[in-house]
């Protein structure tokens, strides 16, 4: 028997391993199985070039539990090791400058330390009082050896008996880690980390993995059903995806994977962290924010790249130019795919816009390169397409790119400054009267009603220099494109002053201004509008930040535009009953506020009671 010390330059390196890997201690199984896979793959390679003689036999990896003896055994039939190789690969740990390193990083964030050495095998000591390695090399005439260590730098190595080539790693599980002697716990870890490994993994006499998942195959080898089946395997309870992108790059970096666009419902039950990162088919993490652009975090699927720099825990990415290159490549592939679908089958693209729009707008907000491409396929939906003119008939959906909207609207909707005014609604039911008034003028109104649209509108006004957005209820129809100051009513100046005084109301939490204008006689008697800028700020106030709180605390600003040409006011002004006159005016004002959703609480109660009284 040979005894020795593992060649590290400090004796407190093992406590550091245990301490700094402890928060992710289940990874020991992934690391040891990954090593077994490597040993198996190396044997296949050597056999293919004639350096490994004889039949390879069934190359699988087996995990066994022995609850009585408190052991976990990971066995492979790979290349194995000679005594000299054990000495080289296990004892001479590559802790170059370990003592200096420990001094430098002691007390810092654990993630700064993990991954600075090759600690894969040594993760076994996180859960073990003792580790044994029994191994036999594939080389002819090799003598099997047994290596043993109790987690201190001391070890023993001796000759032993083992019939077949390969390596058995036996972990004597410590008291703190006895959870790993539960078969269901081991099964869950295998399902998480090993379900797509390229070598068969067996546990309790069953193979638990698929060795050739869809992303490892060429796109030409897969049908649409293959892609859908793989999606179902990843997300068994989801609806089928809209479409997918198959990544297959070997230069200047290696990247494979399949990204799926899921269906997103209007409920916005959006879940991120649904993209799984693999390295050579070993699961790493589902936190891929550094690899996948932020706006594509809503995608689902798999990315596999051996070129992504990982630390030992594999939970944190280290800075590297390849990460940025991969990020840019994924952005380009997604943009190209969307443009391809838009050009090839626009109808299909528009039918999926409800779900696609969120990705596209988010990307346009956060990535200028994506914005440049997305300008060609981002579309607005005309509100006229949301209702059918013929009863029982399906609505005709009309969508515009920015340039198409410009061509359709520029004649009527370009203001004095030369900017195109994009008229929009956020609620086709509540804003119906305003929409109809705009459409009667020949204006095109689009639907912008998602959670992201408030930010989208603000950002695009700065990106599209000659465009601004106006909501249809932000002013009277006559002022939506250009302000019309002279709109005379049939009322005298005295009558207009009287009306202004009658409409000088003080609803709760509202700042109300009043103006009298000569609108068409068939226009509503009173129209409530909210200034575009202030309403936008109020809409975005729910977002975090001091400005959000500032605007949220401010009262809603409302302008009541009284239509001096409406017949009802000529009658009201002649009324001798001041009480009925005041109550009628207040009801007209409340009806206008109600159309904006601004009549609430006691004001709404008073309106109902007053209406009953007047009847």
Give the whole-angstrom CA distance, residue 585 versus residue 575.
12
Nearest to 340 by CA among 372, 376, 371, 367: 376
Is the pLDDT at 120 greater than 90? The verdict is no
Q: Which one is predicted more confidently, 228 or 392?
A: 228
- In angstroms, rounded to a whole number, what is the distance separating the alpha carbons of residues 139 and 240? 50
Residue 267 pLDDT > 50:
no
Provide CATH code, domain 488-615.
1.20.120.790
Task: Read off the pLDDT band of 508 (50, 70, 90).
Answer: confident
Rounded CA-CA distance 471/39 in Å is 64
What value does the mean pLDDT take over residues 365-371? 91
CATH of domain 2-204: 3.30.565.10
Residue 273 pLDDT greater than 90, yes or no: no
pLDDT for residue 81: 93
Sheet with 556-563, side-by-side order of all strands = 510-517, 556-563, 526-529
Query: SS3 of 71, please?
Result: strand
Residue 580 has pLDDT above 90, yes or no: no
Rounded to an integer, the average pLDDT of 609-615 is 81
Q: Which of 434-438, 495-499, 600-604 shows the highest mean pLDDT?
A: 434-438
Listing DSSP states for 536-597 in one string gives HHHHTTTSSSHHHHHHHHSPEEEEEEEETTSHHHHHHHH-S-HHHHHHHHHHHHHHHHHHTT
CA 224 to centroid of chain Cα atoms: 24
Ranking 188-192, 389-393, 537-541, 570-574 by mean pLDDT, the lowest is: 389-393
Strands 420-425 and 445-447: parallel
Q: CA-to-CA distance for 165 and 54, rounded, in angstroms?
A: 12
Is the model's pLDDT at 101 over the cut of 80? Answer: no
Asked whether the predicted pLDDT for residue 391 surpasses 80, the reply is no
Average pLDDT over residues 323-343: 90
Closest by Cα among 256, 280, 248, 249 to 40: 280
If DSSP codes are grouped into helix, strand and coil, which group holds residue 330? helix
DSSP line for 295-316: GGTT-EEEEE-TTS-B-TTSSS
How far apart are the C-alpha atoms of 517 and 486, rounded to whole Å?
Answer: 8
- For 26-72, write each residue's pLDDT tens digit: 889 998 999 899 899 999 989 988 888 888 889 999 999 999 999 99
329 vs 326: CA distance, rounded Å: 5
Q: Is the peptide bond before 429 cis (omega within 30 degrees of 0)?
A: no
Average pLDDT on 320-343 reads 88
Helices and strands, counts by H and E, the chain? 20, 22
Counting every residue written for the chain, the total comes to: 615
Reference 384, options 466, 447, 312; nearest CA is: 447
CB neighbourhood size of 43 (10 A): 22
Q: Per CATH, the architecture of 379-485 is what?
A: 3-Layer(aba) Sandwich (3.40)
Question: What is the Cα–Cα distance from 547 to 516, expressed in whole angstroms?
Answer: 33
Q: How far apart are CA 90 and CA 133, in angstroms?
A: 10
Interacting residues of 570 by C-beta distance below 8 A, sequence separation 6+: 490, 491
What is residue 567's predicted lDDT score, i.e. its pLDDT?
87
Flag whether pLDDT at 141 surpasses 70. yes
pLDDT at 265: 63
> DSSP 3-state assignment of 404?
helix
**What torsion, rounded to 10 degrees, do the Cα atoms 150, 151, 155, 160 define?**
50
Q: Confirm if 542 and 588 have CB atoms less than 8 A apart.
A: no
Average per-residue pLDDT in the chain?
83
pLDDT value for 413: 93
CATH level 3 topology of 214-356:
Ribosomal Protein S5; domain 2 (3.30.230)
**Per-residue model confidence as pLDDT tens digits over 167-206:** 999 999 999 999 999 999 999 999 999 999 999 999 999 9
Torsion of the alpha carbons at 306, 210, 133 and 279, rounded to the nearest 10: 10
Q: Please tell me the least confidently modeled range out of 124-133, 136-145, 212-221, 383-392.
A: 383-392
Q: Which residue has the higher pLDDT, 313 or 398?
A: 398
Query: 5-14, 233-242, 263-272, 425-434 — which is least confidently predicted?
Result: 5-14
Query: What is the pLDDT, as a whole number, of residue 324?
Result: 80
What are the extents of the domains in the chain?
A: 2-204, 214-356, 379-485, 488-615
Angstrom distance (rounded) from CA 241 to CA 358: 15
Structure tokens at 236: 């068994």
Report DSSP letters for 490-537, one per residue. SS-HHHHHHHHHHT----TTEEEEEEEE---TTS-SEEEE--HHHHHH
Q: State the pLDDT at residue 223.
A: 96
CA angle 170, 176, 180 (to 5 degrees): 50
pLDDT band at 97 (very low <50, low <70, confident <90, very high): very low
């Amino acid at each position: 028997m040979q005894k020795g010390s593992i060649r590290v330059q400090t004796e407190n390196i093992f406590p550091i391993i245990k301490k700094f890997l402890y928060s992710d201690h289940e990874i020991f199984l992934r690391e040891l199985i990954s090593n077994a896979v490597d040993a198996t793959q190396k044997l296949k390679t050597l056999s293919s070039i004639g350096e490994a003689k004889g039949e390879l036999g069934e190359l699988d990896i087996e995990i066994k539990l022995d609850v009585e003896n408190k052991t976990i055994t990971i066995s492979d039939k790979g290349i194995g090791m000679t005594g000299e190789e054990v000495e080289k690969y296990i004892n001479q740990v590559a802790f170059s400058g370990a003592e200096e390193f420990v001094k430098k990083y002691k007390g810092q964030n654990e993630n700064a330390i993990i991954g600075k050495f090759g600690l894969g095998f040594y993760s076994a000591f996180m859960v073990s009082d003792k580790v044994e390695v029994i191994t036999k090399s594939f080389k002819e005439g090799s003598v099997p050896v047994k290596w043993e260590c109790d987690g201190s730098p001391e070890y023993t190595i001796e000759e032993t008996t083992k019939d077949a080539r390969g390596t058995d790693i036996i972990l004597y599980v410590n008291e703190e880690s006895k959870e790993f002697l539960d078969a269901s716990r081991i099964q869950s870890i295998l399902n998480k980390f090993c379900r797509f490994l390229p070598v068969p993994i067996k546990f309790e006499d069953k193979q638990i993995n698929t060795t050739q998942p869809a992303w490892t195959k060429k796109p030409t080898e897969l049908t649409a059903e293959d892609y859908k089946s793989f999606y179902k395997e990843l997300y068994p309870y989801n609806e089928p995806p809209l479409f997918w992108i198959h990544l297959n790059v070997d230069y200047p970096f290696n990247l494979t994977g399949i990204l799926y666009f899921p269906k997103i419902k209007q409920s916005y039950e959006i879940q991120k962290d649904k993209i799984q990162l693999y390295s050579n088919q070993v699961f790493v993490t589902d936190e891929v924010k550094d690899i996948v652009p932020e706006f594509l975090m809503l995608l689902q699927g798999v990315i596999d790249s051996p070129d992504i720099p990982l630390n030992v825990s594999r939970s944190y990415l280290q800075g590297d130019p390849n990460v940025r290159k991969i990020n840019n490549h994924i952005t380009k592939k997604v943009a190209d795919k969307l443009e391809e679908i838009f050009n090839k089958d626009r109808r299909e693209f528009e039918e999926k816009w409800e779900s696609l729009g969120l990705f596209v707008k988010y990307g346009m907000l956060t990535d200028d390169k994506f914005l440049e491409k997305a300008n060609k396929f981002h579309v607005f939906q005309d509100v006229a397409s949301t209702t059918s003119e013929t009863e029982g008939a399906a609505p005709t959906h009309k969508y515009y790119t920015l340039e198409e909207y410009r061509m359709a609207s520029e004649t009527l909707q370009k203001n004095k400054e030369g900017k195109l005014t994009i008229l929009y609604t956020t609620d086709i039911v509540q804003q119906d009267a305003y929409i109809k008034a705009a459409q009667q003028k020949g204006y095109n109104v689009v639907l912008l009603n998602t959670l992201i649209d408030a930010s989208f509108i603000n950002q695009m006004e700065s990106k599209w220099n000659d465009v601004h957005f106006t909501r249809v209820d932000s002013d009277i129809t006559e002022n939506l494109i250009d302000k019309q100051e002279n709109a005379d009513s049939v009322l005298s100046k005295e009558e207009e002053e009287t009306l202004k005084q009658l409409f000088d109301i003080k609803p709760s939490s509202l700042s109300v201004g009043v103006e009298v204008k000569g609108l068409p006689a068939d226009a509503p008697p009173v129209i409530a509008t909210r200034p575009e800028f202030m309403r936008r700020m109020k809409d975005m106030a729910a977002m975090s930040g001091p400005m959000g709180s500032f605007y949220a605390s401010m009262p809603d600003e409302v302008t009541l535009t009284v239509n001096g040409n409406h017949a009802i006011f000529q009658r009201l002004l002649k009324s001798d009953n001041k009480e009925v006159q005041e109550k009628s005016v207040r009801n007209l004002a409340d009806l206008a506020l109600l159309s904006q959703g601004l009549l609430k609480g006691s004001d709404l109660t008073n309106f109902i009671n007053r209406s009953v009284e007047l009847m």
